[in-house]
Amino acid sequence: MSYISKKTYLTGFFSALIICMVIFSGCTQAGDEKSGQDTNAAIKGNLTLTGSDGIETVYSYDEILEMQDALGYGYSVSTVGIKYGPYECRGVPLTELIQKAGGMKENDSLWISANDGYMWVFDYDQVNGRDFITLNPDLKEIEPPELKVILMYEQDKEPLSYNDGAPFRIAIISDSKDVITEGSSWVKWVEKIEIKGGNS
pLDDT in tens, 135-171: 999 999 999 999 999 999 999 999 999 999 999 999 9
Q: Quick one: pLDDT at residue 199?
A: 63
Model confidence at 37: pLDDT above 70? no
pLDDT in tens, 87-131: 999 999 999 999 999 999 999 999 999 999 999 999 999 999 999
Count the helix, strand and coil residues of the chain and give each as a percent rounded to the nearest 5: 30, 35, 40
Q: How far is CA 110 from CA 113, 135, 194, in A?
A: 10, 24, 6
Give, for 60, the enclosing helix (H) or strand (E).
none
Q: Quick one: pLDDT at residue 40?
A: 72
Count H helices and E strands in the chain, helices first: 4, 13
Q: Quick one: pLDDT at residue 4?
A: 43
Model confidence at 17: pLDDT above 90? no
Q: What angle (nearest 5°) sits at the alpha carbon of residue 109, between those of residues 98 and 65? A: 30
pLDDT in tens, 52-82: 999 999 999 999 999 999 999 999 999 999 9
pLDDT in tens, 168-188: 999 999 999 999 999 999 999
d(CA 113, CA 9): 58
Model confidence at 29: pLDDT above 70? no
Nearest to 116 by CA among 56, 44, 188, 164: 188
d(CA 163, CA 144): 28
Give the CA dihedral 21, 24, 25, 27, nearest 10 degrees. Answer: 160
Question: Mean pLDDT in the chain?
Answer: 85
Contacts of 150 (CB under 8 A, 6+ apart): 69, 70, 72, 89, 90, 91, 92, 93, 94, 170, 171, 172, 173
Nearest to 169 by CA among 177, 160, 178: 160
Higher pLDDT, 121 or 200: 121
